[in-house]
Amino acid sequence: MKGSQAIIKSLTDEGVDVVFGYPGGVLLPLYDVIYDSDLKHILVRHEQCAAHAADGYARASGKVGVCIGTSGPGATNLVTGIATAYMDSAPIVALAGQVGTSLIGNDAFQEVDTIGITMPISKHSYQAMESSEIPQMIRSSFYIARTGRPGPVVVDLPKDVQEGELDYPENITIDLPGYKPTKKGHPLQVKKAAELILKSKKPVILAGGGVIHSDSSEELQHLSEMIGAPVTTSLMGKGCFPEDHSLSLGMLGMHGRKASNMMVDECDCLIAVGCRFSDRTTGDVNKFAPNAKIIHIDVDPAEIGKNVAVNVPIVGDAKIILSHLLRIISQTKGINNHDWTDYVRTFRASCMPRLSFDDTPLKPQQVIKEISEAVTDDTIVTTDVGQNQMWMAHYFTSRNPRKFLSSGGLGTMGFGFPAAMGAKVAMPDNDVVAVCGDGGFLMVCQDLATVKEYDIPVVVCVLDNRYLGMVAQWQKLFYDERISQTKLNAMPDFVKLAEAFGVNAYRVERPGEMKETLQEALNSGEPTLIDVMIDPDEILPMVPPGCGLTEIVGEYKVERENPDEIPYRPSAQETGGD
């Protein structure tokens, strides 16, 4: 068979049934085979959206997402999406076209060094120089992408390699010298961690995206309840622990909940699971968790000690290590940390953020409250980057893993909408809502054509304040309110823009309209845009860069009239149990 046929067979052998792509000259052999294949190809309107859609597909389903772009600008347009997936450990395989092997290095038309560009932002990059390499290369790419710490793998495919002939092997073995991810944590380290936990009086768990990747939410909740440790999460970990649980603190960090930041500052033992201690999570590392012994569980040894010095490092899969910890601790007499958990619950209740506002223009808190009321626990919510992202991370209650998708490490504006598109393709039975800002959505709005053409019924909520809100917020707080180049003066009418693509659209301007409009949009089964006019002056309290987690600036609006507004389920202790 030809190399292009081998690419498709390799993909289908890996269980791939859908890809997101955009063709080009050097990919003509591959797209000629796609024409007759059973593989569903979704033609996006920009390669960056293909990468984000594959990323959203992967995060929502746990499977490897696939995107395709041609050589030169097609490949460079994929780069932002590849880097986004790399920073957040999302497993995708990016197939890039390349000029013929005889032209590589000649500055040929649409030639770019895809391997050189993507090497630092991918888990691995391959370039096929012979057609016979394709089956092994693609099999290895999927294995690398989904094992250990997941991440993107790039496969560069010169045109003549796609056209060449090969004998497709009956058996393909994976031989990757030097690549053997550690799964089982060292037993002595696990024992040390258990001893440290048993001695602690004020334990806190910091859970990151690694908990979701390893499917260890159940073990995490069991450990939290067994040792009486409240749980805070990184942005990537949001949803790995139910945020209406009595031991949930919410997100930690620069834009985290006050209760999270303060309790991490007070704790005497911090158990970090699948978390890389990013600067947005820790603030000034010299002031981070100053009273705590730190246990760090992570599958990637490169993350151990990189940003924060730890007392007990454990390299391995979170699910396996948490299970091991549970077995050891369950054999002890038990832990009584009731004084600590009572204190945490009382403090948390004293600083519950306020959600209800009757103001016009709408406060984002009120909008998010109504979004929360309109969706179910099975709804997948994606966000863009900026204020919209941090408002959702701060105020939205997420209860299940793989239901809150956001660009954390790279902070990529334009992620939310195409990621929602990919998530809906992966999980067609789940409602999918993208919460975007007006600036970020305008970067990728052309893909309204894609959701219309392929009938992908996502609902896009554009929080419209006519500002690049997060940068403007920093200008207000730290640059004497000098609003430099963040006011979006000339913006389209988003309702008319969506309608121009044949997509349903509504505008929300007053309290009470969001819930009803979103429910109507979800019930319609049609792709829909909701333009939400919000207050441009509303800011989210934050920890300034370079400061400790307790040094929060901005008014932290606390709910005093309805302290139960953000739901919490009572603990067994509160209901009379043990």
Residue 42 host element (H or E): strand 40-43
Q: How is the beta sheet containing 153-158 ordered, strand by strand?
A: 40-43, 18-21, 65-69, 92-98, 153-158, 124-127
Question: Could you please report the per-residue DSSP string of 471-524?
Answer: HHHHHHHHSTT---S-B--S---HHHHHHHTT-EEEEE-STTHHHHHHHHHHHH
Helices 416-426 and 47-61, packing angle to 10 deg: 50
**Cα dist from 452 to 19, 189, 322, 421, 526, whole Å:** 17, 53, 44, 11, 8
Amino acid sitting at position 412: T
The CA-CA-CA angle for residues 210, 216, 221, to 5°, reads 115
407: how many CB neighbours lie within 10 A of its CB? 30
CA distance 213 to 151: 11
Task: Provide the β-strand partners of residue 41.
Answer: 19
Token pair belonging to 514: 């969001």
Is the CB of residue 436 less than 8 Å from the CB of residue 461?
yes
Buried residues in 30-57 as b, exposed as e (16+ CB within 10 A): bbebbeebebebbebbbbbbbbbbbbbb
CA proximity to 149, closest of 126, 176, 119, 124: 124
Classify strands 504-508 and 528-533 as parallel, antiparallel or unpaired: parallel
CA distance 233 to 248: 9
How many Cα atoms are found within 13 Å in the side-chain-facing hemisphere of 93?
27
CA distance 451 to 441: 14
Greatest alpha-carbon span in the chain: 76
Task: Provide the β-strand partners of residue 558.
Answer: 353
Please tell me the total number of residues recorded for the chain in this structure: 578
Give catalytic residue positions: 47, 109-110, 159, 470
3-state secondary structure labels for all residues of 308-337: CCCCEEEECCHHHHHHHHHHHHHCCCCCCC
CA proximity to 409, closest of 154, 80, 62, 145: 80
Is the CB of residue 72 less than 8 Å from the CB of residue 111?
yes
